[in-house]
A and B are shown apart, each in its own frame.
Chain A
Amino acid sequence: MNLKNILTEIEKVDPEVYERMDTRRNSMKRFAFAGKVLAAAAIPFAFGGMFKKAYGQSTGEIVDVLNFALTLEYLEAEFYKQAVASAAVGTASAADKAALTLIRDHEIAHVAFLRAAIMPIGTPVSFTANDFDFSGGNGSGTGPFATAFVNYDLLLAVAQVFEDTGVRAYKGQAANLMSNNDVLTAALRIHSVEARHAAKIRYMRKNKPSALVTGNIQPWIIGKMSNIEAGAANAAIQPSYDGEEITTQATVDIVGIGGTAVTAEDASGAFDEPLTKAQVLAIVDPFIK
């Protein structure tokens, strides 16, 4: 539905809508003009701010959700910045380096996008590299992932956990963004990019067998398997996968559904599961000083 249709709908309820809004022609012109300016400036939700003021839409929860997402994007962006420059990735193939560089650039773009989205309606959180401890040691620098930037296999394992967790985090917030179609759609469009990243990292791990890669790792999550064997770090990893094993959706049992041969592995792999904000924050807490 475009603006003309919206106004037509409003007109059905309020025949004088155009008089109230200036003439139809002028309203349309102003909208079209503002839209072009905003698109050119890549300010995602300035219009959202306008409508917030116009219609009193509450934005507190939306700002909270976007700042939560922004926190995760900062974590990922800083991780990949350091990763791409690390000794570990220095040992990787050219194709792997290209992949990690692209993912880094996406995460940096997500940070910029979310900051721009929050600006008109609230205050974005800010983080720098110094705010993170990618050893997972809560600031000690000696956590279970301390060697990730010199051990490529461990680096990929951490990347997988961040991506799979990111997918689950966005998924868990979708319903909290339903009052704003633009914000919801943007979040969904980031969500699927994170899923593409997750699949790629998993595929990279599949193609680079090591002691850290366990089981038949696939681009999708089977059961609640991390497919990571990282010793002392396993305990920190598993919460990112717990709950993925379910095979019933909206009370519908997916195993053997409709007389098909769908197995429990297929049924769990076919659906990714959400995490709550609290669950995600607990997972990333060791990485934030």
Chain B
Amino acid sequence: MLTKYPFENKAEELNEKIIAGLSRRKFLGYAGAATGLVAFATACDKNDNDMNREGVDLGSGDFGILNYAYALEQLEAAFYTKVLETPYSGITAMETSFMADIRDHEIAHREFFKAALGSNAIQALEVNFESINFSSRASVLGTAKAFEDLGVSAYNGAGKLLADPVFLGLAGKIVSVEARHAALIRELLDTSGTAFANAEVVDAMGLDVSRMPSEVLQIASAFLKTKINASNLPTS
């Protein structure tokens, strides 16, 4: 079916003409981005323009993406730190142990990004947890679930934005731990047996959620006083 589209042959001609102006690496990136249109055939082109250009600039390239991850880890670490400082009523010993482990993982992630980024690291962000009732198990675990699922989707979406395989490898080492957290938190909230990977987060093809930075930061911004400027992040 596809071979009927004239674009394919035209594109072969096009390829020869433009290689001179684009690095091959980058051009293959464009090709990959275009294939993403299978799922986003009707996507509009306003996303880049809609991003907030005020606030803390995450930067560009791989460092921009690492700062993006650093921002999310700051948010998570601050959240679990507060959970342990002001435990919800009825928290069990096992839940306290889980929360402490998760807190320490998020702190490890946050401090790792800070150290790895060095002088390229963004500042410490100010969080806004006004909407969270830290004395309520449902509020705390509900927020934890949202943060963990968001984190998984953020890393899944950001992988293709990284150019350095070492950074991709590091993001991969972290995202699966975030997914482990997400699965556990979901199980704490819902004991039916399937909450860890139900249809809220895994589609019919068995794929987890993936989100681009603009979408992730829009969701995260409700929990941040500091404004984030993601306008210089890579988009493919």
Residues of A within 8 A of B (CB): 1-6, 9-10, 13-14, 16-17, 20-22, 27, 30-32, 34-39, 42, 44-51, 53-57, 93-99, 102-103, 105-110, 112-113, 167, 170-171, 174-175, 178-182, 184-186, 188-200, 203, 218-220, 249-250, 252, 254, 257-258, 260-263, 266-267, 269-274
Residues on B facing A (Cβ under 8 Å): 1-2, 5-8, 10-15, 17-18, 21-22, 27-45, 48, 98, 101, 104-109, 111-112, 114-116, 152, 155-157, 159-160, 165-166, 168-170, 172-184, 187, 191-194, 196-198, 201-202, 204-210, 235-236
Do the beta carbons of B109 and A270 come within 8 Å of each other? yes
B9 to chain A, nearest CB (A): 9
Contacts of B172 in A (CB 8 A): 170-171, 174, 188, 191, 272, 274
- List, in ascending order, chain A residues with CB within 8 A of B114's CB: 258
B40 with A55: CB separation less than 8 A = no
Chain A residues, CB < 8 A from B209: 189
Contact of A193 (CB < 8 Å), options: B7, B14, B34, B206: B206
Nearest-neighbour CB distance to chain B for A123, whole angstroms, equals: 19
- With contacts A99-B194, A174-B169 taken as known, whether A190 is within 8 angstroms of B31 at the C-beta atoms is no
B168 pairs with A178, CB closer than 8 A? yes
B159 adjacent to A193 (CB under 8 Å): no
Secondary structure type dominating chain A contacts? helix
7 other A-B residue contacts (CB within 8 Å) besides A250-B170, A271-B174: A98-B194, A174-B159, A184-B32, A193-B208, A262-B108, A270-B105, A270-B174
Q: Give the distance in Å from the alpha carbon of A120 to the alpha carbon of B5 in the complex.
A: 16
With A and B bound together, what is the CA distance between A10 and B20 in angstroms? 11
A47 contacts B108, C-beta separation under 8 Å: no
In contact, A181 and B107 (Cβ under 8 angstroms) = no
Q: Does the CB pair B104–A95 fall under 8 Å? A: no
Query: Measured between alpha carbons, how far is A100 from B19 in the docked complex, in Å?
Result: 50
Taking CB atoms, residues of chain B closer than 8 Å to A48 are 35
Within the complex, the shortest CB–CB distance from B144 to chain A, in Å, comes to 13
- Do A109 and B35 touch across chains, with their CB atoms under 8 A apart? no
Q: Are B21 and A38 in contact (CB under 8 A)?
A: no
Closest to A102 in B: B194
Known: A249-B170, A270-B109. A175 touches B165 (CB 8 A): yes
Q: Which of B10, B15, B32, B168 is A182 in contact with, Cβ under 8 Å?
A: B32
Answer whether A107 and B206 are a contact pair too, CB < 8 Å, given A4-B45, A96-B193, A181-B33: yes
Contact of A185 with B169 in the complex, beta carbons under 8 Å = no
Q: Which residue of B lies closest to A53 (CB)?
A: B8
The answer to whether A14 and B43 touch (CB under 8 A), given A196-B183, A262-B108, is no
B2 touches A50 (CB 8 A): yes
CA distance A252 to B35 in the complex (A): 36
A258 and B44 in contact, given A174-B159, A184-B160 (Cβ under 8 angstroms): no
The list of the 9 closest CB pairs from A to B, nearest first, reads A181-B32, A35-B41, A95-B193, A13-B21, A109-B206, A98-B193, A195-B179, A175-B165, A199-B183
Identity of the chain B residue whose Cβ is nearest the Cβ of A52 in the assembled complex? B31
Q: Is the CB of A181 within 8 A of B29?
A: yes
Closest Cβ of chain A to B16, distance in Å, is: 10
A-B contact pairs, 17 of them (CB 8 A): A2-B37, A6-B236, A17-B18, A21-B11, A39-B41, A55-B31, A96-B193, A97-B193, A108-B206, A188-B155, A191-B172, A192-B176, A196-B180, A219-B183, A262-B107, A266-B105, A271-B174
